[in-house]
Structure 1
Amino acid sequence: MSRQVFLDTETTGLSPENGDRVIEIGCVELVNRRYSGRNLHFYLNPERKSHEDAIKVHGLTDEFLADKPRFAAVVEELLEYVQGAEIIIHNATFDLGFLDEELKRLGRQPFTRHVAGVVDSLTMAREMFPGKSNSLDALCKRLEVDNSNRSLHGALLDAGLLAEVYIRMTRGQDSLVIDAADGGGAQNGEVALVEVDLASFSPPVIEPSALELEAHAAMLAELDKASGGKSRWKVLGD
């Protein structure tokens, strides 16, 4: 069974080293590349004020967060949920920096010690689309993922968008055939993939006609002449 968790956080600012804290965690689970419906979401009281620029991004005010649980109250549920899963994060260094600081305050091991591994989808996107913008919004547009509801950043919403983006970025890695008849996954915008043993197929062999063989020989002769008699196929044929 392949279990993946797409994770995103919102924070009070940009620097965990200077005391900024996590205020929202959103996780979306896929099992064998299908949505399980078993997601995880927390709003958290950071015990400090958020920077004004951060509030403009996520819209989570200090007043809204005042009665929410602290990280210490949800840490066990979070770590149990991610245990043994492959975690996919967009710009993983940022989120891991904050999660590790939160865990450090509680005397816990770094986040990566609790999971099977972490994949940075931003690194993947930069390799696939070099020289282009690879923000989550840009990838949604490029890969035709509907993000029309994303007026503000939200951890659970962004984790769900990232799952859609990742599915489309990695489509075809596990299979060459798309199961278009599977209506269950398609309702969530997911294209289901099925494995096919290609060894079971016997492709037909079409023999060339006499005219095609003659035309091919003439073309090879022209190429050989143009190369000064240095054609590689002649050497290999000998």
Structure 2
Amino acid sequence: MREIIFDTETTGFDPKSGDRMVEIGCVELVDRRETGNTLHIYFNPERDMPAQAEAVHGLSIQFLSDKPLFADKADEILAFVGDAQLVAHNARFDFSFLNAEMARAGRAGISMDRMICTQDMARKMHPGAKHTLDALCTRYGIDRSHRVKHGALLDAELLMHLYIEMTGGRQIGLGLTGNREVAQPSPSFVTGGDGASQRAYREPRAHAATPAELARHNEFVASLNQAIWLEGA
């Protein structure tokens, strides 16, 4: 299963009022394991940068003035995303900007059916608690000390770790089913995003009891006094 964790930075809150996307960061997961494949692009928004927005992400119009237009990178983004599910925090916000930019570039929008919103997940899992990315990273013990300002790739990487924890932690995909296709890590990745080495896949060993072990077990069961599972037998 392939999923793309992504985040955007923008000039404001509403693409319908002329706000534009200025940065996108994407991180690839396969079977809930980070592959090391990422996409990170800054865009020239072709407009000014409000001071409130610059205070959040630190991206000035001077910095963005020589960056590509979204239309020039739309096909690259679509190729990276492919047909994967897209995971974002407050995903409707990010989808609204992504699809508004796709429309400006003459491309079809990405279906909301592919959206997974970690903020919605958090509201169901932790009702009444704070559901910001910072608050959830604190709850799940994810280090965010290097997050001074918002940044699309940095926030996507933090969200990746959060999403993994919220969906069962790193025990997912350890290969307990004996299905090699599920258990085997993606060939493109050697270490996890946390720097942990990934072990090579090993075929599961058979664990059937031997005849001698079964005989000893039967002797032991017969020696038990009033075993509850024999009641009514």
Same fold (TM over 0.5): yes
- Alignment of 1:135 with 2:135, yes or no, is no
| Structure 2 CA distance for partners of 1:123 and 1:175, relative to 1, 3 Å | farther
Distance in 2 of aligned mates of 1:76 and 1:61 = 25
- Deviation per residue, 1:197-234 (Å, 9 max, x gap): 9xx789x9997x76997xxxxxxxxxxxxxxxxxxxxx
- The answer to whether the 8 Å contact 2:71/2:104 transfers is no
- The answer to whether the 8 Å contact 2:86/2:114 transfers is yes
Alignment gaps of 5+ in structure 1: 214-236
Equivalences, count: 205
Distance in 2 of aligned mates of 1:189 and 1:16 = 40
| Structure 2 CA distance for partners of 1:191 and 1:153, relative to 1, 3 Å | farther
The amino acid of 2:87's aligned partner reads: I
- The answer to whether the 8 Å contact 1:7/1:28 transfers is yes
* Structure-2 residue corresponding to 1:168: 165
- Alignment of 1:150 with 2:147, yes or no, is yes
SS at structure 1 position matched to 2:192: helix
| C-alpha deviation, 1:184, in angstroms | 3.9
The amino acid of 2:99's aligned partner reads: D
SS at structure 1 position matched to 2:4: strand
| C-alpha deviation, 1:100, in angstroms | 1.3
* Structure-2 residue corresponding to 1:57: 56
Distance in 2 of aligned mates of 1:170 and 1:94 = 22
**Runs (4+) off by over 2 Å:** 172-177, 183-192, 204-207, 209-213
Alignment gaps of 5+ in structure 2: 177-182, 184-189, 210-216
Distance in 2 of aligned mates of 1:101 and 1:170 = 30
| C-alpha deviation, 1:107, in angstroms | 2.5
The amino acid of 1:13's aligned partner reads: G
Distance in 1 of aligned mates of 2:208 and 2:117 = 37
- Alignment of 1:86 with 2:93, yes or no, is no
The amino acid of 1:85's aligned partner reads: A
TM-score, reference length from structure 2: 0.76
Distance in 2 of aligned mates of 1:111 and 1:190 = 35
| C-alpha deviation, 1:102, in angstroms | 0.9
TM-score, reference length from structure 1: 0.74
Q: Which moved more, 1:36-45 or 1:166-175?
A: 166-175
- The answer to whether the 8 Å contact 1:22/1:44 transfers is yes
| Structure 2 CA distance for partners of 1:53 and 1:168, relative to 1, 3 Å | same
Distance in 2 of aligned mates of 1:187 and 1:59 = 26
SS at structure 1 position matched to 2:45: coil
Instruction: Indicate the structure (1 or 2) with the bigger Cα radius of gyration.
Output: 1
